[in-house]
Amino acid sequence: MDDAGASLAAQMSAMGRGAREAAAVLRLGDAATRTRALTAMAAAIRADAADILAANARDVAAAKASGMASAMVDRLLLDEARVEAMAKGVETVAAIRDPLGAELDRWDRPNGLDIARIRTPIGVIGIIYESRPNVTADAAALCLRAGNAVILRGGSECLASNLAIHAAVAKGLSAAGLPETCVQIVRTADRAAVGLMLTGLEGAIDLLIPRGGKGLVARVREEARGVAVLGHLEGLVHVFLHASADLEKATAIAVNAKLRRVSVCGAAETLLVDSADAQRLLPPVAQALRDAGCELRGDARARALVPGMADATEEDWRTEYLAPILSVAVVDGVDGAAAHIAKYGSAHTDAIVAEDGAAAERFAALVDSAIVLINASTQFADGGEFGFGAEIGIATDRLHARGPVGAEQLTTYKYVVRGTGQTRP
């Protein structure tokens, strides 16, 4: 390791120790203090808007100079409305019910032991993310609401923006008398910092959350060593139109699921249509999608019903387009739809449109995704829409938490067992 590497390692170790100390303070702190810090953070973000925008302008200029694609530049870009939305997001988290201390379960044993399961913080969370600078504020707010210390490592392309937002976050912590090490940010673009986080910083990090593209999430999952990872993989999202579907609902949901925003993980990527009534459903829905600017790629049965569709390849069924492109397959009933989803889906979010309640419930049972929607758009796959205030992302792993990860999903629990002197025979 060279001098710079040793110095970075020492800095990251110190962050780990600082985070652990902060976690110990937070674990014993009260909800009112956490709320006060969150409210002060939102105020500081508003007060610092000019600084945040100036820092962001530097990031954007550098990104443009480096030849970054304009869609990517747009993800970096902040304006007054986006800064205000960030402050509002933090206020929403300040307003949700504090998850800590809740009694999740409680029962008595025949020997008189009283067992309570109590919600507690996880401890120290490491978040590795890309692009959108609002993640800095969202992640800080959610971790704090759940009583966790957090170490943030954002993308190098918005380091200046992230540091400016973090400065406001730190003011909020300080206003509430909380240690600034409750929310720390890696202040260098050196990718070696990520490597150090993947080792858990000598046991300081309890959970790593990658948020970003497939490459980032895959790297964190594969390279994390001895530290748990909560993965947010792609959303290969399906909408299935059952033979019993109402055409108006089917059309509205398919168009909204695909096109409301094409770049979110809850955007539909494949439309499945029941062969039992595809002739009624597919042509008008396809027309509505095309009218709204969507390109369609179909299997043979879909193309027989909708002229001019491109041929969907095997690759199409596995592709998260994040673009106004939709693959379309005709399948045989609920079981055919579920089989397609099991083969190609990412267990993120899938929807059925059906008036037949039994068919809808069978779909909900067969499809093993974090979120299954009946007669609603897949774009509701979002922590805010679930009432969580905000989210770190949608978890697609099967352990700990599935679906939107809000403050409650960033907690764990412990048992408190109260006795009167019991010993075990």
Residue ranges binding a copy of itself (CB under 8 A): 24, 27-28, 107, 109, 113, 115, 120, 122-123, 206-207, 221-222, 225-226, 228-230, 246, 248-249, 252-253, 255-257, 260, 342, 360, 364-366, 368-377, 379-380, 385-387, 397-400, 402-403, 412-424
- Nearest distance from C-beta of residue 399 to a copy of itself, angstroms: 5
Element (H, E) at 121: strand 114-121
- Nearest distance from C-beta of residue 363 to a copy of itself, angstroms: 10
Q: Residue 274 has which token pair?
A: 């029941």
- Nearest distance from C-beta of residue 417 to a copy of itself, angstroms: 5
- Nearest distance from C-beta of residue 362 to a copy of itself, angstroms: 9
d(CA 13, CA 193): 10
Quick one: which of 393, 403, 333, 409 has its CA closest to 368?
Answer: 403
- Nearest distance from C-beta of residue 13 to a copy of itself, angstroms: 18
Virtual torsion, Cα 413, 418, 419, 422, nearest 10 deg: 10
For a copy of itself, give the closer residue by CB, 163 or 370. Answer: 370
- Nearest distance from C-beta of residue 123 to a copy of itself, angstroms: 6
d(CA 174, CA 170): 6
Chain length of the chain = 425
For a copy of itself, give the closer residue by CB, 1 or 28. Answer: 28
For a copy of itself, give the closer residue by CB, 150 or 373. Answer: 373
- Nearest distance from C-beta of residue 10 to a copy of itself, angstroms: 22
Do residues 53 and 80 lie in contact, with contact meaning Cβ atoms separated by under 8 Å? yes
For a copy of itself, give the closer residue by CB, 61 or 218. Answer: 218
Please say whether the dihedral angle defined by the alpha carbons of residues 403, 399, 317 and 273, taken in this order, is positive or negative: negative
Strands 103-108 and 114-121: antiparallel
Could you report how far apart the first and last alpha carbons of the chain are, in Å? 56
For a copy of itself, give the closer residue by CB, 298 or 406. Answer: 406
d(CA 420, CA 418): 7
For a copy of itself, give the closer residue by CB, 28 or 81. Answer: 28
d(CA 325, CA 377): 17
Phi/psi of residue 229, each to 5°?
A: -125, 135
For a copy of itself, give the closer residue by CB, 302 or 370. Answer: 370
For a copy of itself, give the closer residue by CB, 20 or 166. Answer: 20
For a copy of itself, give the closer residue by CB, 115 or 304. Answer: 115
Cα dist from 172 to 37, 61, 159, whole Å: 5, 29, 20
Q: At what angle do helices 159-175 and 49-65 cross, to 10 degrees?
A: 160
* Residue 105 DSSP SS3: strand
- Nearest distance from C-beta of residue 371 to a copy of itself, angstroms: 5
- Nearest distance from C-beta of residue 394 to a copy of itself, angstroms: 10
